[in-house]
Amino acid sequence: MGRSHPDHQTVLDAVGLACRAPSVHNTQPWRWLLGDRSVHLMADWTRQVPATDPDGRDLLVSCGAALHHLRVAFAALGWDTETVLAPNPADPDHLAAVEPHRHTPDDDEVALAAAVTRRRTDRRRYSSWPVPDGHIDLLVEHAAAHDVVAVPVTDPFDRHRLAQAIAMAAIAQEDDPAYRAELAVWAGRGRGSHEGVPAADTPRWPVTHDGIRMREFPGGTLTVAPTGETDAAQLLVLATADDSVVSRLRAGQAASAILLAATGLRLATCPLSQPLEVPESRALIQERVLGGQGVPQLVLRVGYAPTSAEPLPPSPRRPVDEVTAYLPGFAPRRPS
């Protein structure tokens, strides 16, 4: 790319950070098409997990998170981005077109990008330290910037209803042989894998934190030591006005913004997609937690990890050259 656009290595660096985004079962269901003046996010439906995610919600939310990671990376590298969601109605796989422009990053943008490589999905018990209201307000603001409502579930009755929906979804999926087989393929991965859920990041035994049942992954090796503390994690439900492709992508961007901001605040985080994967539990959350207002897209668990908790290893990612291709006629140039 020319002087008014980032060079090829800068684009690859940004894509590399984008690929650090969380995704359902760490399937990384995205592809990137690089052009002379733009980067295009494409859905990779060959990486859909149909027993877990039959309608593709998780896949699109995952791609939305990767898109936000890309924009964060470009901003920190000195490039603002003009982004169009679902730009090509004739090609539903084309999820976003991103065009970078010169930009001077501020401290907040640099800090957000720095959080990309430090963020982990932490499925362990969190500490009894409550998350300050000011932190929650900031996370809600990050979601609102993407036209997504982040609803803190603070009322005990609402939290109980949400816990019921989470348990309902877990039971329904665990009773499905196709789901169990699919999960076995993607979970329990060793160090040599570039995809899937690492055994080292998932608890060895089923865990429930303060009534919130966590998804059970087979083959986990992570020991979750009892702390004697009450888990004071805050739960946020991300909701959109409708359930369109664009809304799901926005939910993914909002999730990314919250996760990175929370990481910057030294909070532990864990996305919970399971209760939205089963129609009955999703309807329960929509009606009994959101009061029928909005479409729930994702639940986020946020809190402080115990001071004694060991750092989690980073989950694996596919090499950038496996997820990138070039638009016809584009000949990439390396920086001189």
**Contacting residues for 240 by C-beta, under 8 A, at least 6 apart:** 147, 148, 149, 247, 248, 250, 251, 294, 295, 297
Q: Are 333 and 40 in contact (CB under 8 A)?
A: no
- Start and end residues for every CATH 3.40.109.10 domain found in the chain: 8-118+318-326, 133-303
Whose CA is closest to 41, among 115, 116, 21, 3? 21
Q: Which residue has the tokens 């065009």?
A: 99
Q: What is the pTM of this model?
A: 0.96
Q: Which numeric CATH code is attached to 8-118+318-326? A: 3.40.109.10
Question: pLDDT truncated to tens, each residue of the chain (336 aa)?
Answer: 446 789 999 999 999 999 999 999 999 999 999 999 999 999 999 999 999 999 999 999 999 999 999 999 999 999 999 999 999 999 999 999 999 999 999 999 999 999 999 999 999 999 999 999 999 999 999 999 999 999 999 999 999 999 999 999 999 999 999 999 999 999 999 988 999 999 999 999 999 999 999 999 999 999 876 667 789 999 999 999 999 999 999 999 999 999 999 999 999 999 999 999 999 999 999 999 999 999 999 999 999 998 888 899 999 999 999 999 999 988 776 554
Whose CA is closest to 240, among 286, 294, 285? 294
Q: Are 326 and 32 in contact (CB under 8 A)?
A: no
What sign does the dihedral 127-129-135-140 (CA atoms) show? positive
Per DSSP bridges, beta strands 324-326 and 208-209 are unpaired
- Rounded to whole angstroms, the Cα distance separating 73 from 106 reads 13
Whose CA is closest to 61, among 286, 265, 271, 206? 271
What is the C-alpha end-to-end distance of the chain, expressed in Å? 12
Q: Which CATH class is domain 133-303?
A: alpha beta
How many Cβ atoms are within 10 Å of 155's Cβ, its own excluded? Answer: 11
Q: Which residue has the tokens 């393929």?
A: 185
**For residue 178, is it left (φ>0), alpha (ψ between -120 and 50) or beta?**
alpha
